[in-house]
Amino acid sequence: MSRVYNFSAGPAVLPEEVLKEVAAEMLDCNGTGMSVLEMSHRSPAFQAIIDEAEKDLRELMNIPDNYRVLFLQGGASLQFAMIPMNLMKNGVADYIVTGQWAKKAYEEAKKYGKANKIASSEDETFSYIPDCSDLPISEDADYVYICENNTIYGTKYKTLPNTKGKILVSDVSSCFLSEPVDVSKYGIIYGGVQKNVGPAGMVIAIVREDLITDDVLPGTPTMMKYKIHDDNGSMYNTPNCFNIYVCGKVFKWLKNMGGLEVMKQRNEEKAKILYDFLDESKLFRGTVRKEDRSLMNVPFVTGDKDLDAKFVKEAKAAGFENLKGHRSVGGMRASIYNAMPIEGVKALVEFMKKFEEENL
Ligand SMILES: *Cc1c(COP(=O)(O)O)cnc(C)c1O
């Protein structure tokens, strides 16, 4: 068996320790004589798994008591509809469009009410985060929506927008648990877990408790109400049991690593190695404004499509997988999530240096 360095944007690399534990427990999970895959979600054994996962997440993120943690299905994309259905009391919301995911959320919200695009960076291929210090926030906006780390373009908000008192809703799919956050600044902070936390097919939504009500848009399906999931401890129907179990193990791994402050330092260190190289390289260059660079997703190009393709091909042969950029932007992208070891980034930079020497 040989593991590659996997730079996929998602589903993505998971901590090897976690994968080994999952493998070891595949026939007998916690002395039950069965796999978690075979376990009733109503069993005390599974209840212990989900309770422990929530407890560890609360500890890691320092989640205040007036926030609920929901383990939901439908990925991050279902939240694009669920958020307006549950929050649009006035039928108005403001969207800051900084990439494809924010744009999709904005387009979806239009189906349910008046969604206003109050800022965008589309004019420069989403290569920067707009100034959000004094935006024309709508007086009757039910919330202001952002995508905090733009997975495809590699930008990240370094300061949250001034929402002028309105509720902030944030998609943190690709920066979830990469650094400490102040949960109390958000109404909803949510993320699909397959980027930086666990397997595909689940989203964790951390929702301020006063936003969870029966006052939703008419016709909202039962499964789309935060309240039904909250009232039932994320088990109104059968949850994604395996995913909750793996995420729980990742939370333990993060705690053992020293928590989110330590992860932030590690992530900064890793990203610096790659960005410093890009800044001095004569062949490669980063594609986004320096102040807005993501610690998680690092897009870069040579400026020559054929050379980009050659790089991706040779990198793959050398054991660096999934470096091709998103189909909408081309070039390359290295996603260097929590579980990517620093050795992986150093090895990638060494490989890039060698490629540069051979191709300049
Ligand atoms: C991947 C991604 C999504 C979509 O996630 P799904 O789980 O596939 O619906 C949404 N937002 C961001 C920021 C993402 O990176």
Instruction: Report which of residues 60 and 328 the model is more confident about.
Output: 60
Of 233, 257, 281, the residue at which a domain comes to its end is: 257
pLDDT tens digits, 281-293: 999 999 999 999 9
Domain count, the chain: 2
76 lines ligand 1 (CB under 6 A): yes
Note down the domain range covering 49.
16-257
pLDDT at 329 over 90: no
Report yes or no: 14 and 210 within 8 Å, Cβ to Cβ. no
Strands 144-147 and 168-171: parallel
75 lines ligand 1 (CB under 6 A): yes
Of 207, 224, 257, the residue at which a domain comes to its end is: 257
171 lines ligand 1 (CB under 6 A): yes
Residue 158 in domain = yes
Active-site residue set: 101, 171, 195
pLDDT at 165 over 80: yes
Helix, strand or coil, per DSSP, at residue 156: strand
40 and 66 inside one domain: yes
For a substitution probing ligand 1, which of 157, 174, 178, 297 has the most ligand atoms within 8 Å of its CB? 174
pLDDT tens digits, 182-235: 999 999 999 999 999 999 999 999 999 999 999 999 999 999 999 999 999 999
324 and 245 inside one domain: no
**Site of tokens 């669920």:** 82
For a substitution probing ligand 1, which of 80, 97, 173, 337 has the most ligand atoms within 8 Å of its CB? 173
Residue 98 in domain = yes
Confidence of residue 47 (pLDDT cuts 50, 70, 90): very high
Residue 345 in domain = yes
Q: What is the CATH number of the domain that holds 37?
A: 3.40.640.10
137 and 233 inside one domain: yes
195 lines ligand 1 (CB under 6 A): yes
Widest pairwise Cα distance in the chain? 63
pLDDT tens digits, 239-277: 999 999 999 999 999 999 999 999 999 999 999 999 999
- Structure tokens belonging to residue 57: 């997440």
Residue 303 in domain = yes
Strands 332-335 and 320-321: unpaired
Of 241, 257, 273, the residue at which a domain comes to its end is: 257
